[in-house]
Amino acid sequence: MTECVLAHRRSLSEYISIVGEECIQELRELAKPLRGARVLHLNATAAGGGVAETLKALVPLMCDLELNAEWCILHGADEFYKVTKTMHNGLQGMPVRLKSHMKETWLKYNSLNADLLNSNGTYDFVVVHDPQPAGVLRLLRQRNGHRNPGIWIWRCHLDLSTPRPGIWRFLKPYVDIYDAAIFTKRQYFPKDFRVPRCFEVPPGIDPLSIKNRLLDNGEVHNILLRYGVDPGRPFIFKVSRFDPWKDFCGVIDIYDLLRKEFPEVQLVLAGGGAGDDPEAWSWYQRTAAHAQGKGDIHILWGQNGVGSPELNAFQQAASVVVQKSIREGFGLVVAEALWKGCPVVASDVGGIALQIIHRETGYLVRSVNEWVEAITYLLRDSEAAGRLGSAGRRLVQEKFLITRYLGDYLRIFQTLSTEVKNA
């Protein structure tokens, strides 16, 4: 059996106060024909990163709608995660190669997990997240001599717009045989993909999670003090996994330019790793070394990420939240900050551009000058910052909550099962 993640119970009724009765009723109607359906979400880690974050809410909410939803994680080890991180980097365009022993390692663990899955029984819908477990479907078919029952969906969270050709060529035969795929943006659909149905669906955040509930000021104040951050002075905040795409060092350079004009401003950087990410600690060390001598910088590290109450407090209290990324499939951290009404300045890349309407819900920037100008403007003009923050919160309310994401999954399940019945 694959290892199942025990999800906390969630009730959709609790969301009425946020999204309204009508929205919840619509979800219940959408779910009616799917009641009792066995659904499996399979991914690489239960902790750290955006996929685990969304599954924590999505799976219990599917169960609350009486789908029989489970969340299982891959059985892996360091040698496998090293390979999958190289694949991840290459699929997002980094010039890396998969050597033959790396391909063998990927196949070995996918094969082992295919075996484990075989004893789970069958599902009506299997959603396989990202490239790490993507090989299980084909390996199951080879093992069992027939196509596994159920509808299989590959949910890719990466920015696949510029993959290294060699890595995509390796992965493609394993993902081409899925019944459908979901990407965060249409621009990520691979041009030579043979999957019959591709859906464009960005994820959403859980407004009721500990990370996103409104904290009272006393709690926020105490958390800041606990981490040595002065609540009486402004600070710029960034949170991400420590990873080559998240450009923490670039944020430090921008801060270094700003502190001449704003000597009182602090910089708080928070992050950690994920169960399947072997690179995080070395990127944390590089960041810490880069911060030396560059002012009032606080760096928070958590093995599987810094905790939710802490992130919540920092996002709530920050003068400006920044998300400087080189690639970003979606960037849940942006939605999380917008939801708290915090003004956000972020790189104009990938999924961030879905969330930030330039000068309306935040600032989308490309050059160092634009970074410095946008943050300077927001530090000087707190009213403008407040207006931006309110517009950001409204956008998340409208488009990027978990309830919308849940509805999209239900619609996709319905569409695909109707197509299978009519085939």
Q: Which parts of this chain interact with ligand UDP (CB under 6 A)?
A: 49-50, 53, 211, 239-241, 270-272, 302, 305-306, 311, 330-333, 336
Helix (H, G, I), strand (E, B) or coil at 298: strand
Nearer to ligand UDP, 297 or 332 (CB): 332
Tell me which residue of 139, 124, 132 sits closest to 70, measured CA to CA: 124
Q: Are strands 68-73 and 3-4 parallel, antiparallel or unpaired?
A: antiparallel
Using DSSP, state whether 272 is helix, strand or coil.
Answer: strand
Distance CA 5, CA 18 (A): 27
* Beta-carbon count within 10 A of 13 CB: 11
As measured in angstroms, the least distance from the Cβ of 336 to ligand UDP is 6
Nearer to ligand UDP, 215 or 379 (CB): 215
Closest distance of CB 325 from ligand UDP, Å: 8
Q: 142 forms bridges with which residues in the sheet?
A: none
45: helix, strand or coil: coil
Q: Which residue has the tokens 């998969």?
A: 98
90 or 150: whose CB is closer to ligand UDP?
90
Nearest-approach distance from CB 80 to ligand UDP, in angstroms: 19
Choice between 110 and 325, CB closer to ligand UDP: 325
* Length of the chain (residues): 423
Q: Which is nearer to ligand UDP, 138 or 241 (CB)?
A: 241
Nearer to ligand UDP, 235 or 262 (CB): 235
Smallest distance from ligand UDP to CB 157, Å: 6
Shortest distance in whole angstroms from residue 143 CB to ligand UDP: 31
How many CB atoms within 10 Å of residue 421? Answer: 7
Task: Provide, rounded to whole angstroms, the least separation between the CB of residue 332 and ligand UDP.
Answer: 4
- Rounded to the nearest whole angstrom, what is the least distance from the CB of residue 49 to ligand UDP in the complex? 4
- C-beta closer to ligand UDP: residue 229 or 311: 311
Give the Cα separation of 258 and 240 in Å (integer): 21
Shortest separation between residue 239's beta carbon and ligand UDP, angstroms: 5
Task: Annotate 218-274 with DSSP letters as a single string.
Answer: HHHHHHHHHTT--TTS-EEEEEEES-TTS-HHHHHHHHHHHTTT-TT-EEEEEEE--
CA 222, distance to chain mean position in Å, is 28
> Residue 310 CB, nearest distance to ligand UDP (Å)?
8
In angstroms, what is the minimal distance from the CB of 217 to ligand UDP? 21
Residue 421 CB-half CA count within 13 A: 7
Which residue, 30 or 182, has its beta carbon nearer to ligand UDP?
Answer: 182
Quick one: tokens of 370? Answer: 């634009």
- What's the rounded Cα separation, in Å, for the pair 197 and 153? 9
- Dist CA 41 CA 370 (whole Å): 40
Our CB check for ligand UDP shows the closer of 124 and 243 to be: 243
Task: Judge whether 158 and 134 are in contact, CB under 8 Å.
Answer: no
Q: Maximum distance among all alpha carbons in the chain? A: 68
Tell me which residue has tokens 């810094």.
306
Q: Are 237 and 318 in contact (CB under 8 A)?
A: yes
Question: Among residues 69 and 274, whose Cβ is nearest to ligand UDP?
Answer: 274
Question: What is the b/e burial string over 226-243, where b = at least 16 CB atoms within 10 angstroms of the residue's CB?
Answer: eeebeeeebbbbbbbbbb
